Structure 1
Amino acid sequence: MCGICGVLSSTETPEPALIRDMLAALAHRGPDGSGYYRDEQVALGHTRLAIVDTAGGTQPMTGRSCFSSGAAEQVWVTFNGEIFNHVELAAELRSRGHVFDTRSDTEVIVHAWEEWGPACFERFNGQWALAVWDRRTRSLVLSRDRFGVRPLFYTRVAGQLLFASEVKALYASPDVPRELDPAGLDQVLTLWSAVAPRTVFREISQVPPGSYLTFREGREVEHRYWAPSFPPAGAEELTDLEANTEALRTTLMAATRLRFERSDVPVAAYLSGGIDSAVTAGAIAAIRSSSTPLHTFSLRFADAEFDEGGFQGLMAERLGTVHHDVVVRERDIADIFPEVVRHAESPLLRTAPAPMFLLSRLVREAGFKVVVTGEGADEVLGGYDIFREAKIRDLWLRDPAAAEAAVEQLYPWMHRSPNQAPAFARSFFSRNLSPDDLAMSHRPRWDSTAVLGSMLRPEIRELGGGAADGVVAAMPASATSWDPVARAQWLEMTTLLPGYILASQGDRMLMGNSVEGRFPFLDPHVAELAGRVPAGHKIHGLDEKHLLKRAFADLVPEEILRRPKQPYRAPDAAAFFAGGTPDWVADVTTASALEAAGVFRPELVQRLLEKARRTGGRGLGNTDNMRLVAVLSTQLLHSELLSGPAARAAAPPEPLTVFDTTLEPTGRTSAQP
């Protein structure tokens, strides 16, 4: 797990000062060292969080060549993430004549590229963002894992292509415009996140999940090597519930073992109090061979409405783990929020990433660099309310009375649940029903979120628009034959999962404290299996993640297995106004600050702030909570990342290793200035 960056120039040799500044901006992602490779056309940078082959895994990396010409060092790689099946791939490559100098998964990428070219990405079981510089063809390849666990951004300026793990590293170049993109903002304020390749920053793109981009001779070509897919409804081949239950257990146990054991540093686990992390932690406990106890980490809240401590303690006691937790108060969220937004590099609609940042800090302070978590289970195995809503909305088309009765089983955790207001529930679930609408499941969410756009200045609104239509247009033609739950899953895997769950709430909050997250539920074998089973195995009636519960009934206590579904939530407006308001709130919402950002209508912002002050942030409706967090986070994003001089760290992480062929054209030069 690391940070990567680089420059591909069509005009002049990349400057070492630029690559060093980019590395400095990524120091938090890789505090254990840094390095760069440079030749007359490209520079590749890397900051390292040493996890696999801590002694030999220095990057950027090349390897002994297996080319028939015998030419050495023709392929260079800078890599962020893990290739969990690198041991098996290395054995296969050795059988084909490749010689390895390290035990690192990075060197496996080098040789895999030599052997298979871009087809190697389909062979990787992992989470990655990487760059391959192939000197034979003078081509740069940027690749990202299937689900977008690891981020990768790029831009073109002044005859150069710049890429990096985070946008702040791109801003190390003064030529990159530091402005928000209205269309990207529209996506966030409708879909919760920008959808690749778009970002919220003008002229900055991101590599889409499951894709690789090839840059050669000024041309850019995108290739898709993976995308979520489902069989036609009623035509699934894996229809045996018992067989699918056993297959899921076997596959998920193998995925968890791979993510726990492929590390040269200790690995811990999250325990949220729900079934997903209970399964992954329980699987680790079942497969561990060491007598060293497993360390688990939980997030708790001082406000009982959000706290799940009882379930966390129950699972920790059952597993006999060394358990750690952090109790988050409302003011803790407010105090850390500017740092959270700086790491998230996106407007937020909820404060939920902030407690996750405090949790990863606890993990790092306890001496761990790696944690296994349960992210992805809801998306691949049908755990969200929106999937159950999809079933009800589909049923409403055929049998409104049965659908209305089913609504009563939803939202047991919600204080103001729609089932407590039957007229509202009927309006909510029966609105915009059409059997031809591939996004019928998501229309209510998108419609309710899109009202945030009313806060925008007219000129910003005019330049945005159409976020939902763009996503629906990108759905594959085969989606017309999918079950409604499968369609909803595709939409979640394309929007919320990579852009929010794995980014703002995942990678950024973990790597902000130099911690790597590993996600067994996003193993390609687990995802493939889950995609092939009938929707009724994932959501049986309205019992979410039914197949998962069956598969791990022996590992998870009944109290957790049968508890009502409760999504992870955190205090929103109350965090900023209930217990005193931090000074930064006033600073980023002054008339001059709002004018400088140029995003929101000042009179509407002031009206919203007055309402929040008057109520202490409590009792605000869902829409006002989202409005407030969106305004504060967007204003923070502007002040933290876009306005004023670019922030610079003093230097890249030490030691700094340099491979510079412009200094020694006849071979590799390694230096530590």
Structure 2
Amino acid sequence: MCGICGVLSGTEVPDPALIRRMLGALTHRGPDGSGYYRDERVALGHTRLAIVDTVGGTQPMSSRSCRSPAADEQVWVTFNGEIYNHVELAAQLRSRGHVFDTRSDTEVIVHAWEEWGPGCFERFNGQWALAIWDRRTGSLILSRDPFGVRPLFYTRAGGQLLFASEAKALYASPAVPRELDPAGLDQVLTLWSAVAPRTVFRDIAQVPPGSYLSFRDGVETERRFWAPTFPSAGAEELTDLEANAESLRTALTAATRLRFERSDVPVAGYLSGGIDSAVTAATIAADRAVRSSSAPLHTFSLRFAEAEFDEGGFQALMAERLGTVHHDVVVGERDIAEVFPQVVRHAESPLLRTAPAPMFLLSRLVREAGFKVVVTGEGADEVLGGYDIFREAKIRDLWLRDPAAAEDAVKQLYPWMHRSPNQTPAFARRFFSRNLAADDLAMSHRPRWDSTAVLTSMLRPEVRSLGGAAEGVVAAMPAAAASWDPVARAQWLEMTTLLPGYILASQGDRMLMGNSVEGRFPFLDPHVAELAGRIPAEHKIRGMDEKHLLKRAFADLVPDQILRRPKQPYRAPDAAAFFAGGTPDWVFDVTSGAALEAAGVFRPELVQRLLEKAGRTGGRGLGNTDNMRLVAVLSTQLLHSELLTGPVAGPTTPPEPLTVFDTILEHRTLEPTGRTPAQP
């Protein structure tokens, strides 16, 4: 895991001072070292978190980057992520005559590009954001993994194309405007996140997941090499429930083992108290027992001081069963308030919930315990039908055909919710019968989007977009979606919006890499995801039992108390975090009249009413909408003050040692000592 950045210049030789400033803004993503390559057209930068081939994996890298400059050094790469099947790919490439200087997955990317061109991306099993500079064709390639685990932003400014793992690195160039984008804000305040290629920053785009962009002679070309897809409802070929459970177990076991084993540093696991992380941790514990491994598995859990949110009992149960060396951190409301400015700075997006903040504190615990890599259960809900929104999709579809049966099915939902719609049948009827249309491909998501879009009423008239965030996503759905099961449509929407833009970004990569920790996600292995896509929805959600197939596949490894417990969504205190135990000074600073005027986003009178309401109640008892409103206001104002006002904070110099491959200066040095890169 690392941070990457670079510049493609149309006329001038890239400025090394700019690339160094960009590297300085990405120090947290790669504190173990840095480097850059520069020629007449391009500069590629890299900050390194050393995990695979910790000695030989220095970047940027070419196929001969460890040797003296040679004429065949025509393809260079800077890479953030992991290619888990790099060992197998290297063997294939050696059989085709390629010679390797390192054991790193980075070098595999270079040779794979030379051998297969853009077809290499379909062969990668991993998570990545990368840039390839092909001097042979004068092409710069930017690519991102299928689910968008790793971020990659780009912009054009001052006659140059700039790219980086995070937007803050792009702001190292004074030519990049530092403003929010109203359309991006509209997406966040409707869909929970901006949807690629859009971002919340004016003139800054992001590479869409499962895509690569090619820049050559001023022409930009985009190609998609992967997208979620599903069979037509009733036409699924994998219809044997037991066979599907066995196939899922085989695929997920292999994916989990791959993510634990392909590392030259120790790997730990998260235990959330739910089934997803229990499965991955139990799989590794069982595998180590079979191999009589003496290395203990370390697991990490997030606990809450407030009992309403805490799952500590289930976490302890699983850790004891597996015999892991277990660590946990207890987070209170005050902890969330104190760390929230850092969280927003790393997230680089307005937030509607405080949930990323405890995840940031959890990754800090991982790093303090001496680990750089952790395996987590993210992605299971999206690919295997774990969210309430998928069960709601089944009920909405049923309501169109049999309202009485649908009303009965509603009683099986929300066992975790204190104020469940089950307790007010009239409300449930209104909620589930609203916006029903058989030909609406987004019927599952309309209630959520409508509820969240209310937040845009807080915006100033000049900032409010014309709307259309939801319709833009629906318009992008493939034509085949009309034949999919309603659950499959809902899965596609989640995989396109919430998963890459929030779960894997604001709550995932950004909170992990803020503490220099890499997250790995077995449920997003392409073999697991593609298998799950071919399985009938009824196997994923059997009746109203979410993730039924996963439970069936791993029933022998997970205790019944966890296997059969009602799903409890991950939540954290929202408004109460900022008002129940005293309000931190920064809240008043970012919501002052001057701060609101400077940002120019929210209507001051509405913000004032909201703050007064939260102050009177201590932040407790606020409804769902007011909680989201408050967090949205605070996070957006923080985003403005942290990233868009004044100097870009953070180190001004790259992490040391700094490896330089500079064809303009005709030298390669390893600063600050001046040693040349080691020979293989």
Please state which band the TM-score falls in when normalised by the shorter chain.
Answer: over 0.9
Q: Does structure 1 residue 316 correspond to structure 2 residue 315?
A: no
Aligned to 1:350: 353
1:458 counterpart letter in structure 2: P
1:182-238 CA-to-partner distances (Å, cap 9, x unmatched) read 000000000000000000000000000000000001111100000000000000011
**1:72 Cα deviation (Å)?**
1.2
The 3-state SS of whatever aligns with 1:196 is coil
User: Structure 2: how far apart are the matches of 1:413 and 1:452?
Assistant: 25
2:374 counterpart letter in structure 1: V
Q: Is the 8 A contact 2:186 2:469 kept in 1?
A: yes
1:146-192 CA-to-partner distances (Å, cap 9, x unmatched) read 00000000000011000000000000000000000000000000000
**1:646 Cα deviation (Å)?**
2.4
Q: Does structure 1 residue 596 correspond to structure 2 residue 598?
A: yes
Aligned to 2:392: 389
User: Structure 2: how far apart are the matches of 1:581 and 1:415?
Assistant: 26
Alignment of 1:38-77 (within 5 A): 38-64=38-64, 71-77=71-77
Aligned to 1:567: 569
User: Structure 2: how far apart are the matches of 1:539 and 1:205?
Assistant: 36
**1:648 Cα deviation (Å)?**
4.2
User: Structure 1: how far apart are the matches of 2:427 and 2:601?
Assistant: 32
**1:663 Cα deviation (Å)?**
1.1
Alignment of 1:76-155 (within 5 A): 76-155=76-155
**1:645 Cα deviation (Å)?**
2.2
Alignment of 1:145-544 (within 5 A): 145-288=145-288, 289=291, 290-461=293-464, 463-544=465-546
2:569 counterpart letter in structure 1: P
Deviates more, 1:296-305 or 1:642-651: 642-651
Structure 1 residues without counterparts, runs of 5 or longer = none
User: Structure 2: how far apart are the matches of 1:481 and 1:146?
Assistant: 23
User: Structure 2: how far apart are the matches of 1:301 and 1:126?
Assistant: 32
1:119-150 CA-to-partner distances (Å, cap 9, x unmatched) read 00000000000000000001000000000000
Q: List structure 1 segments (4+ residues) > 2 angstroms apart after TM superposition.
A: 645-648, 668-671
Deviates more, 1:287-296 or 1:351-360: 287-296
User: Structure 2: how far apart are the matches of 1:499 and 1:368?
Assistant: 26
Aligned residue among 561, 582, 587 for 2:589: 587
CA RMSD in angstroms, aligned pairs only: 0.9
User: Structure 2: how far apart are the matches of 1:370 and 1:198?
Assistant: 30
Deviates more, 1:385-394 or 1:281-290: 281-290
Aligned to 2:671: 672
The 3-state SS of whatever aligns with 2:406 is helix
2:124 counterpart letter in structure 1: F
Identity of matched residues, %? 87
Structure 2 residues without counterparts, runs of 5 or longer = 673-680
User: Structure 2: how far apart are the matches of 1:378 and 1:453?
Assistant: 28
**1:672 Cα deviation (Å)?**
1.7
User: Structure 1: how far apart are the matches of 2:462 and 2:210?
Assistant: 34
The 3-state SS of whatever aligns with 1:458 is coil
Q: Is the 8 A contact 1:34 1:48 kept in 2?
A: yes
User: Structure 1: how far apart are the matches of 2:421 and 2:472?
Assistant: 29
**1:71 Cα deviation (Å)?**
4.0
Aligned to 1:611: 613
User: Structure 1: how far apart are the matches of 2:60 and 2:565?
Assistant: 48
**1:284 Cα deviation (Å)?**
1.0
Alignment of 1:21-40 (within 5 A): 21-40=21-40
Q: How many residues align structurally?
A: 665
User: Structure 1: how far apart are the matches of 2:94 and 2:420?
Assistant: 59
User: Structure 2: how far apart are the matches of 1:320 and 1:477?
Assistant: 49
1:239-267 CA-to-partner distances (Å, cap 9, x unmatched) read 11111000000000000000000000000
The 3-state SS of whatever aligns with 1:116 is helix
2:258 counterpart letter in structure 1: L
User: Structure 2: how far apart are the matches of 1:413 and 1:593?
Assistant: 39
User: Structure 1: how far apart are the matches of 2:78 and 2:64?
Assistant: 16
**1:338 Cα deviation (Å)?**
0.2
User: Structure 1: how far apart are the matches of 2:213 and 2:428?
Assistant: 45
The 3-state SS of whatever aligns with 2:419 is coil
User: Structure 1: how far apart are the matches of 2:365 and 2:311?
Assistant: 18
Q: Is the 8 A contact 1:280 1:373 kept in 2?
A: yes
State the TM-score, normalized to the length of structure 1.
0.98
2:344 counterpart letter in structure 1: V
